Amino acid sequence: MRKITAGLFISLDGVVEAPDQWHFPYFNDEMGAAVGASLGQADTVLFGRKTYDSFAGAWPEREAAGEEDAGFAKTLGDARKIVVSHQKLAFTWRNSEQLEGDLVAFVTALKNEPGGNIGLSGSVSVVRQLLAAGLLDELQLLVHPIADRKGMRLFDEGETPISLKLVSCETFQTGVLNLVYTPAESAGDAGYEEAKANLPQAEQ
């Protein structure tokens, strides 16, 4: 079964909207390697429409310019790109298509097709739906040491908690934390009575 990995730039207060307004001062070679290791290794990429429009408006030109990011731009261009949108879309970026039908059913079938990793970048609404459906295998959060204080947060209001397991943690020189999570079983119910056994005990 194919693996689905989502990567997001996120502020310390949980904001994932418009990272271009606060993200770039923290981008260094460590972060470039982390992004390349996830998105750059995917042969299929899922996008929400807004994120796709942002990528399609920049990366084809960067590939054509032939500068230092042209290799990564070509990798994105060569990947199969599937866009989730309720509007009928027209595409100019190669290997782009619109998702047809129900997102969960489509992605369930996609995971069972032959192929390599499936990546997501941004596309918060898609990430939320795949997390809720149990289809996301890995969530990479690049936590920036800034409180943006405005904009959409990653996790919206809901009835059912989402449990995650931290599988790796790396601190970049800029102070950005590279946190990688996988889905996990619920930690269960507990209260203070259970927790107090772990408090330091006063010396007698």
**What are 37-58's pLDDT values in tens digits?**
888 889 999 999 999 999 999 9
**Residue 153 forms part of a structural domain:** yes
- Residue 121 located in a structural domain: yes
Domain range enclosing 132: 4-198
Residue 15 covered by a domain:
yes
pLDDT digits (tens, 9 = 90+) for 123-159: 999 999 999 999 999 999 999 999 999 999 999 888 7
Rg of the chain over Cα atoms, rounded to whole angstroms, equals 19
Helix or strand or coil: residue 6? strand
Two tokens, residue 190: 């507990």
Task: Provide the pLDDT for residue 199.
Answer: 86
Domain count, the chain: 1
- 26 within a domain of the structure (yes/no): yes
Q: How confident is the model at residue 196 (pLDDT cuts 50, 70, 90)?
A: confident
Residue 204 lies in a domain: no
Query: Do the domain assignments include residue 203?
Result: no
Q: What is the mean pLDDT of residues 87-100?
A: 95
pLDDT band (50, 70, 90) for residue 186:
confident
Mean predicted confidence (pLDDT) in 175-195: 90
CATH number reported for the structural domain that contains residue 178 in this entry: 3.40.430.10
This prediction's pTM: 0.91
Q: Is residue 88 part of a domain?
A: yes
What is the percent of the chain where pLDDT is above 90? 81
Distance in angstroms (rounded) separating the CA atoms of residues 148 and 141: 16
Sheet holding 4-11, edge to edge: 96-98, 80-84, 42-48, 117-121, 4-11, 138-144, 177-183, 164-171
Is position 64 within any domain?
yes
pLDDT by residue (tens digit) across 161-174?
899 999 999 999 99
